[in-house]
Structure 1
Amino acid sequence: MADAQTTRLCTQIIRSQFGPLTANVASILLTRGRLTLPQIVRLTSLKPRTVRASILVLVQHNVLWHAQTEDEGEVLEVNVEECLLRLRFGRFVSQAGQLFGDAGAQIVQLILDHGKLRPPDIVSELSLGDAKAANVYSQAIHALVTAAYLKPSTILSHVSPRDKRIRYEAEEKAKIAGFPTAKELREARETAEARLKREEEEAEKVGLKRKAKEQKGPRSAKRKAAEEEDIVDPTVYFRVNCDKFNIHVRNTLIVKAVKERFNDGAALVLDTTLKVTESKQKNVLDVRTEPVSVSNIAVSLSDQEELASGLILKTKNPSNAACIKDYLGMLSCADNPTAAGRAAAFLSFGASKVQVEFETVCKRLRRRVLESVTRERHGPEGVRILRLLLDTGKMDEKQISKVVMIPGKDVRPLLALMSAESLISTQEVPKSADRNPSRMFYLWHVDLQKAYSVILGNLYKTLYNIGGRRQAEQEEPMLKAVLEKRERSDVSQDEAGLMSRLELDMIKEWEAKQEKLTVLEMRVEESVFILRDLGVFGFSED
């Protein structure tokens, strides 16, 4: 079951993309949790045929999970993360176009429109019988699959990983004789996780198969092919690997943060470091990149001549290698070898090897979102209190007032407001065993998990309001009539001649509003990505 804000947003997304009947089925599953098919039919009051068709659509688009239980049989559950990722599909298509050209963007868009497809179906749909175009699309599919931007859709991908993890843990615990210790339980959990990860890796290998290369020359018919190559299996259904595209979103945010803190030269060096190791980055769970040498970065930046413009050096014409080392020293905070310096670094630099520290940077990005929300609602005074509690831990009201240099009469209501929004929390310390409220210390602190969860819920609410505003703007009677007229085949060929100036102005104004709402939605979704997708490393700021 999802919370109220997540349920509303997921239902809105499904309604806008699949219609009201499918949204009704999804809303019941989001509200009540996993259900069987007869239960869904009874709760939605729809015909069984309609419910079955809606479920097939959601399964095809990877929004529903299956699970087989001993008590109820087959049950269905909404994959909330996959549903929320649909807000990011436009960015995925844009990234595919930048990496693999127009052919890659068209392939990714087609697969996103259909959920999952086989390579022959993709080629026949896009090439329209053109042999040359079919060859281009086949090569693009091979590049996408080889680089893991497309992954095979297997039976395991339709089963909830939580159910498999619970089952595997139960099987490992059953092997333990007697009462299990904490160490044995931890080992059982680690074994189950390793087994689940191994199954996922093996399932993703079915997309490629080995095929012998054709040997050219007079002796090729007399000997067996010694070389083999990987080809895409035409019988396998492929879906978009969102984790691989999320890597680019994360890297873009990190480069943007470096540019804001330092300059364009430092951002260019870090961007190059990320691109050198991009092929080895699997998902956003990576704690850091693979080690890369300074020479590899220098080779990639050999054609850049303006690296020295962002540095103040004694020499007039420094080499690129010297500039890169200076930038790496800045990014690793080499001039501040303390705990604060390590926490502010973007990468670790030692023994001519460089590693971008994703865990450290992502924690700092989440903290920046928390501070920005606090500044927007409570001003700089709220940010001062928040930073004090994050750095020192639990403090009472008098200590906070003294350190942040704000009168107690102003600190008290500000703490109450921030606590009401879950930005800070209280810890009760009793003076006596009876826990009398009048004989207690009340200490203020920041519960990061609680604060991030509340902010994430508010961001989901904002995304829902943006979608509602877009729908309300589009349903306005006069604008709706103009848009329907615009869709006519004769009008679409000559809009300027068959539409009045008033109608053209209405369309222009509506497109401007749509653009503003889309930009706002992208900014809010970026904050959601930082808090949800980059929140995999825990909430400790140590």
Structure 2
Amino acid sequence: MSAKQILLASLILEQHCGDIVARIGKNILNKGFTTLSSIALDTGFSKNKIRKALCQLIQHNLVKCQKNQRGFITYTGQLSNIFAIMYYPRFIQKAKMLFGDVAELIVEQLLLHGWMTMTSVVTRVTQRLHDPQAEASVAINEYQVSEQFANMASMHLLQHSTLESIDPSKAPPNESEKYQLPRAYTPTVSASHRRKASFNNDKISIDFQDSDIFWQVNIQQFNVHLVDEIIVDGTRNCIDEIASKVMDVMCKMTNVDRSCFSDKTKRLGFYEIAENLSHQEMSEGDLLSWLSILEQEKGGFVTKQSDSSGGLYAINIKNILHALSLACIESIIKENLGAKSFRIFNCLRMKGYLEQQQRCFIGYCVLTYKTDKNPIEDFCMIPSKEAKELVYKLVEENFVNLLEVPRSADYAPSRTLYLFGVNVPQVCRMLLDKIYTILANIKIRQCEESKQETRLLEKSERLEGTISSLQSQGFDEDSQAVKDIREMMTDYEKERLVRLENIVKKCDHGEMQVTETLFVFSQFVILT
């Protein structure tokens, strides 16, 4: 856990939980394992205030508590879960894509509260859907909401709270028990007998007799779905739309039983894949061709593991993430260091460790253009002096490793080989470190800009609240009262608000792009 990771984590906590929780969370991350008394001594907060903050952190699974060998309760930070906060909007969007608006609200409630009972979730979501002040009030009952909840649990997107008991003698729950619905919920029974519920215009209530069963969002399973999106999009960019459809079907057939730490999916039979692709009107011959193409693409997007029953195929997740990570690295090198540095990097990656004097290193610039006739090879030599400067620049930026191999025990330069090579996982870790700094800087800039305009933002909110109140009383936008209130904001203040809005938009857009790269690199590093 680096200092840059801790800084970013504390900024995320400050943005979503407030300053006190952020300072306590940062203290826990710095210490690794710490106690309540130690936190109070380091931060200067009262124990009562620290307990409230710890309850919030534990409820959202951002901090874990356990009893050590001496009998003290210790707290440790869950760094990966803190970073997952950046992907909450994508989790909500994914739930909506898979199951619709109801699932979106279910995930939103669970992410907002950390963990809740099924009864509480269904009640709150149903009330939201029947809110007369909502922009799009939907006529849906609690039975339909609970069905969507059950569907998401069956896909392992929701699970029982992983809040562990501090008693080490208590056995952890089995994997299958994490997704079991309350006993009072029985899908085979009709809606009128399966639950005690009443619904009318004034009251919504439902009881699954689950006061001791708490649910939370399964972050790891949502990560699996986000990896599937990356796989499908990467296949579409590397090959074409039809290949991405084949990959999409294979991902959907394996994502329920797959862990986010798996480098390959389970094996799928050829006829299983063909059956699930029947709605795409793809013949078995065409499917076999596309699977062969996927098998040959960049080290093998798909691996054929057996020839029995038409063939058994598995998606090679590690190879795909390696190809996508490498594409990001190459883009960064080409953008920051130029095309020649990019060519040298690719040469070292493909050839392995090379000496500086080797011709294939100094003069590498082979560009192959595939045409209908014959390949055209364009050799563009890089002068030796320029190549030396470029390779040491790549070493300085940590894109290339310099390995010293002594021929004698005295490490004399004249009797030492200097080899240059590329370690892609190591480059990803180096770029991840930079990404943490970039995200931290974005959040700091956004926070500082908002603080400078605090009074202006408060004034704008007060005026907008007054205008909304007038509009609810029947005043339209063209009424004199509304115009008078809008004129209370000067042109200079309006310009400052527009400037702040543009800065915030740029920060949000930049953060969204950087987090996508962060996700690709981090998933690849996990698998290596």
User: Does the pair score TM above 0.5?
Assistant: yes
Unaligned runs of 5+ in 2: 131-138, 191-207, 366-380
Following superposition, the deviation at residue 294 of structure 1 comes to 4.2
The one-letter amino acid of 2:522's match is R
Query: In the alignment, which of 149, 161, 166 is matched to residue 157 of structure 2?
Result: 149
Conserved 8 A contact 1:36-1:72: no
Q: Which amino acid aligns with 1:364?
A: A
How far does residue 484 in structure 1 lie from its aligned partner after superposition?
A: 2.4
Partners of 1:114 and 1:252 in 2: how far apart? 27
What residue identity is the alignment partner of 1:201? Answer: E
CA gap 1:264/1:509 in 2 versus in 1, 3 angstroms? farther
Q: Which amino acid aligns with 1:51?
A: I
Where do residues 17-416 of structure 1 align in structure 2 (5 Å cutoff)? 17-71=16-70, 73-128=72-127, 133-156=141-164, 201=175, 204=178, 207=181, 209=183, 233=210, 235-280=212-257, 282-304=258-280, 320-333=283-296, 343-348=299-304, 350=307, 351-399=310-358, 400-403=361-364, 405-416=381-392
2:451 aligns with 475
Within 1, Cα distance between the matches of 2:470 and 2:99? 32
CA distances 1:329-363 after superposition (whole Å, capped 9, x unpaired): 22222xxxxxxx67144453853443222122122
Is it true that 1:525 corresponds to 2:515 in the alignment?
A: yes
CA–CA separation in structure 2 for the residues paired with 1:112 and 1:214: 29
C-alpha distance 354-533 of structure 1, shift in aligned 2 (>3 A):
same
- Describe the shift of the 1:279–1:433 C-alpha distance in structure 2 as closer, same or farther (beyond 3 A): closer
> Over aligned residues, Cα RMSD in angstroms?
3.2
**Matching residue of 1:188:** none
Residue 482 of structure 1 and its aligned partner are, at CA, apart by: 5.1
Distance across 2 between alignment mates of 1:156 and 1:234: 17
Matched, 1:13 2:12: yes
SS in 1 for 2:420: strand
Find the counterpart in structure 2 of residue 420 from structure 1: 396
CA distance in structure 1 between the aligned counterparts of 2:302 and 2:188, rounded to whole angstroms: 48
Residues 52-61 or 379-388, more deviating: 379-388
Counterparts in 2 of 1:288 and 1:56: CA distance versus 1, 3 Å: same
Structure 1's 72 and 378: CA in aligned 2 closer, same or farther, altered over 3 A?
A: farther
Q: CA deviation at 1:517?
A: 2.9
8 Å CA contact 2:156, 2:256 repeated in 1: no
- How far apart in 1 are the matches of 2:469 and 2:184? 49
Please identify, of 468-477 and 5-14, the stretch whose mean Cα deviation from structure 2 is larger: 468-477
Question: 1:228-253: CA deviations, max 9, x gaps?
Answer: xxx99553111100111111211111
Counterparts in 2 of 1:278 and 1:69: CA distance versus 1, 3 Å? closer
2-structure distance, mates of 1:493, 1:412 = 71
Question: Matched residues in 1 for 2:469 and 2:289: separation?
Answer: 57
Contact 1:389 1:444 in 2 (8 A): yes
CA contact (8 A) 2:156 2:179 kept: no
User: 2:348 is aligned with what amino acid?
Assistant: L
Shift of 1:14: 0.3
Q: Deviations over 1:492-530 (max 9, x none)?
A: 775954535957776666555444433322221111111
> 2:109, 2:121 within 8 Å by CA — same for their partners in 1?
yes
Indicate the SS of the match to 2:418.
Answer: strand
Q: Between Structure 1 and Structure 2, which shows a larger proportion of helix residues?
A: 1
Distance 1:18 1:519 in 2: 22
Aligned residues: 467
Aligned partners of 1:245 and 1:213: how far apart in 2? 25
Secondary structure at the counterpart of residue 283 of structure 1: coil
Write the distance in 2 (CA, Å) between the matches of 1:16 and 1:112.
15
- Deviation larger for 528-537 or 149-158: 149-158
Cα distance change, pair 364–213 in 1 and its aligned pair in 2 (3 A): closer
* Structure 1 residue aligned with 2:435: 459
Following superposition, the deviation at residue 445 of structure 1 comes to 1.8
Distance 1:461 1:85, change over 3 A: same
Q: Distance in 2 between matches of 1:376 and 1:158?
A: 51
Taking the aligned partners of 2:470 and 2:439, their CA distance within structure 1 comes to 35
Change in Cα spacing, 1:101 to 1:403, as seen in structure 2 (3 Å) is closer
Flag the 1:506–1:136 CA change in 2: closer, same or farther, 3 A. farther
- Between the aligned residues of both structures, percent identity stands at 22
Instruction: After superposition, give the CA deviation of every residue in 1:383-436 in whole Å (9 maximum; x if it has no partner).
Output: 222222222222121122244542221122222222222111211111221223
- TM-score when normalising by structure 2: 0.79
SS of 1:156's equivalent in the other structure is coil
Structure-2 change in CA distance of 1:266 and 1:72 (3 Å): same
In structure 1, what is the Cα distance between the partners aligned to 2:165 and 2:88?
A: 19
> For residues 102-144 of structure 1, what are the alpha-carbon distances to aligned partners after superposition, in whole Å with 9 as ceiling and x for unaligned?
1111010011011111111112223239795222222222112
Q: Contact 2:295 / 2:303 at 8 angstroms: preserved in 1?
A: yes
Instruction: Provide Cα deviations, 1:57-82, integer angstroms capped at 9, x if missing partner.
Output: 11111110123222472211111000
Cα deviation code 1:204-249 (max 9, x no counterpart): 2555558778789xxxxxxxxxxxxxx9955311110011111121
Paired residue type of 1:204: K
Which secondary structure state, in structure 2, belongs to the residue aligned with residue 279 of structure 1?
coil
1:429 aligns with 2:419: no
Q: Distance in 1 between matches of 2:469 and 2:431?
A: 44
**Structure 1 pair 346/157, CA: closer, same or farther in 2 (3 Å)?**
farther
Counterparts of 2:70 and 2:422 in 1: how far apart (Å)?
43
Per-residue deviation, residues 140-163 of structure 1 (Å, max 9, x unmatched): 22112222111111443889xxxx
Contact 1:362/1:534 (<8 A) preserved: yes
Say which SS state the counterpart of residue 100 (structure 2) adopts: helix
CA–CA separation in structure 1 for the residues paired with 2:317 and 2:33? 35
Q: Distance in 2 between matches of 1:253 and 1:158?
A: 38
1:487-498 to structure 2, matched below 5 A, reads 488=465, 490-491=467-468, 494=471, 497=482, 498=485
